[in-house]
């Protein structure tokens, strides 16, 4: 698996699984009916942000994508944020872990002192476990912070890792 | 003291103390050299956000301002956020408290279920005490989350209040 900077042309491969994940409404605080141009603008970042894709080196398939960016401005601009989308068709292959590791390396290289995830849905236990295994801590859980389409209100974690 | 929706013309009264507060770099995660058009765009919100001013009913002076808006999208869009600026020349008159109360009333009326402050500087003890007295709780403190110009790294509180 290769992780590299996303190019504009990669979006066509990201959008189908991005749309599927967002439309499900279970893991992301994005509007479920997010339109394609808005999604592209939110995901495909220019510096100081960065967007990467994970690519199968054999088939060339885009397996997942991550965006990373400053979480705050001014006196808190040393805290980064990041978001991840893995194609469900390629789940279980370590794509999220590889993207997470790549993000941490980027954040260190850019001089950030910490990474803060603002909204990790409590019921997304797979993601929570992955981030914990990469050194993130649940700092707090906003009670009933997220309305899950089938579970109802669940907590919304804020996760944090110092670098 | 009257609290009313801000009009475009109010910005000229807000900007001088806004600029002073932001330039000090002690309480806000805004760039200290934030330029006027950017500041105006960030502060003077259109629906679904709202910006208000607190006005001295006798003199007509603008004493402070607050903006309030959705904190998240999608499944977390029931959580509001808000920011407050009080003219230091009018500190100690309860302007912040009045703006905070007005914001909570707005959030309830708009159907929000909670208000989340994303970045309250730990050393801004006056603000922290005010929000606590208005029912907010420090959910967590991001360690060394804010670089204060004289204190160095201090914590950054995330505060929350259910409605």
pLDDT at A125: 97
Point out the residues of chain B with pLDDT beneath 50: none
Sheet with A2-5, strands from edge to edge, namely A2-5, A50-55, A62-70, A79-86, A114-121, A152-162, A137-148
Tokens 């160095």 correspond to what residue? B152
User: For residue B117, which phi and psi values (nearest 5 degrees)?
Assistant: -95, 125
Question: Using the beta-carbon criterion (under 8 Å), do B158 and A148 form an inter-chain contact?
Answer: no
CA–CA gap between residue A138 and residue B4 (Å, rounded): 39
Question: Using the beta-carbon criterion (under 8 Å), do B73 and A30 form an inter-chain contact?
Answer: yes
CA–CA gap between residue B100 and residue B123 (Å, rounded): 19
- Alpha-helix runs per DSSP H in chain A: 11-24, 36-43, 95-109, 125-133
Tell me the nearest-neighbour CA distance from A115 into chain B, angstroms: 10
| Domains of chain B, each with CATH number or no CATH | 2-115 (3.40.630.30)
What residues 139-158 of chain A have any CB closer than 8 A to a CB of chain B? Answer: 139-140, 142-149, 156, 158
What is the band of A129 on the pLDDT scale with cuts at 50, 70, 90?
A: very high
Q: Are B52 and B99 in contact (CB under 8 A)?
A: yes
* Eight-state DSSP code of residue A162: E
Which residue of chain A has the CA closest to B74? A31
Cis peptide before A38 (omega within 30 of 0): no
User: For residue A82, which phi and psi values (nearest 5 degrees)?
Assistant: -160, 155
Q: Could you give the C-alpha distances from A58 to A13, A55, A61, A88, in angstroms and in order?
A: 16, 9, 8, 19
Write b or e for each residue in A114-131: b if 16 or more Cβ atoms lie within 10 A of its Cβ, otherwise e: bbbbbbbbbbbeebbebb
pLDDT at B64: 98
| ipTM of the complex as predicted | 0.94
pLDDT at B110: 98
Distance from chain centroid for Cα B45: 13
pLDDT at A14: 98
Mapped onto helix, strand or coil, the DSSP state of residue B117 is strand
pLDDT at A155: 98
CA–CA gap between residue A14 and residue A62 (Å, rounded): 7
pLDDT at B85: 97
pLDDT at A36: 98
* CB of B118 less than 8 A from some CB of A: yes
pLDDT at A148: 98
pLDDT at B108: 98
The two tokens of residue A82 are 């990041």
Q: Could you give the C-alpha distances from A68 to A31, A48, A72, A115, B13, in angstroms and in order?
A: 20, 9, 12, 10, 37
Q: Residues B20-66: pLDDT tens digits?
A: 999 999 999 999 999 999 999 999 999 999 999 999 999 999 999 99
Pick from A75, A115, A153, A163 the residue to mutate for testing the B interface (most B CBs within 10 Å).
A75
Residue A73 has its nearest CB partner, among B30, B74, B160, at: B30
Tell me the nearest-neighbour CA distance from A1 into chain B, angstroms: 32
């Amino acid at each position: 698996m290769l992780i590299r900077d996303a190019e504009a042309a990669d979006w066509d491969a990201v959008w189908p699984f991005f749309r599927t994940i967002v439309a499900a409404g279970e893991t992301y605080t994005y509007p479920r009916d997010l339109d394609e141009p808005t999604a592209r603008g939110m995901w495909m970042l220019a510096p100081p942000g960065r967007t990467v894709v994970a690519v199968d080196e054999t088939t060339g398939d885009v397996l997942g994508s991550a965006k990373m960016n400053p979480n705050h401005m001014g006196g808190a601009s040393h805290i980064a944020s990041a978001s991840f989308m893995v194609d469900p068709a390629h789940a279980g292959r370590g794509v999220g872990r590889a993207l997470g590791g790549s993000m941490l390396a980027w954040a260190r290289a850019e001089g950030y002192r910490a990474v803060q995830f603002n909204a990790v849905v409590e019921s997304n236990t797979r993601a929570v476990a992955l981030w914990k295994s990469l050194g993130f801590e649940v700092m707090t859980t906003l009670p009933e912070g997220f309305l899950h389409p089938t579970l109802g209100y669940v907590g919304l974690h804020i996760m944090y890792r110092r670098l």
